[in-house]
Amino acid sequence: MPHTFVGRTPASAADPLVGYSALAKTSTSRARAPGAGQGTRPTRRCYHMRSLNMRELSWPQRIAVVLASVFYIGAGILHFTKTEFYVKIVPPYVPWHPAMVYISGVCEIAGGVGLLVPSLRRAAAWGLVALLIAVFPANVFMATDPLAAGAQSIPPAIAWGRLPLQLVFIWWVLWATRERQPAAAS
């Protein structure tokens, strides 16, 4: 149902960073007070505004977003509670091992929280994709040299199986945060 703004629309309404929630809206089908129609203009569908508002997600995507959020927040917390393990799996050519572990933990927590914020959801997903790519060398190091990585207790099948699993994690966050496509008209 189309909407119009009540009263005069401020000049800032055209600014894509200003939310519509601050402006009063009313349906064009409702009766208005005399004189209220002066200075009003109908709004147009602003598709660039949709990225700032709640994304339309299917219920499986909503479940996937919540699960991914819990997963990444939990994994990020582990960087602070099991720091020694994560420091060992950082490849030797990467400098400042403890700092990298803490930074990646903060990024995982921030990404997990960002998945729950509609206006940040897609950016958080791409941030998590970048993080998954950035930590991939640690997964390779753990699989190729488990003794040096302190991962000798992890079966080789799991260490090597984790490598393609990174692609599944990337697909997961991108699919879960992708806006649902409208049904094709026939």
Mean pLDDT throughout 13-36?
Answer: 46
> What is residue 39's predicted lDDT score, i.e. its pLDDT?
56
What distance in Å separates the CA atoms of residue 101 and residue 87, rounded to the nearest whole number?
6
Q: What percent of the chain has pLDDT over 70?
A: 67
Residue extents of the structural domains in the chain: 3-50, 59-177
The H-or-E segment that residue 110 falls in is helix 97-115
Above 60 in pLDDT, residue 186? no
The answer for 39, left when phi > 0, alpha when psi is -120 to 50, beta otherwise, is left
Mean pLDDT throughout 130-140?
Answer: 92
pLDDT band at 108; cut points 50, 70, 90: very high
pLDDT band at 58; cut points 50, 70, 90: confident
Mean pLDDT throughout 5-30?
Answer: 44
Burial 94-122 (b: 16+ CB within 10 A, else e): eeebeebbbebbebbbbbbebbeeeebbb
Extract the tokens encoding 181: 């496509």
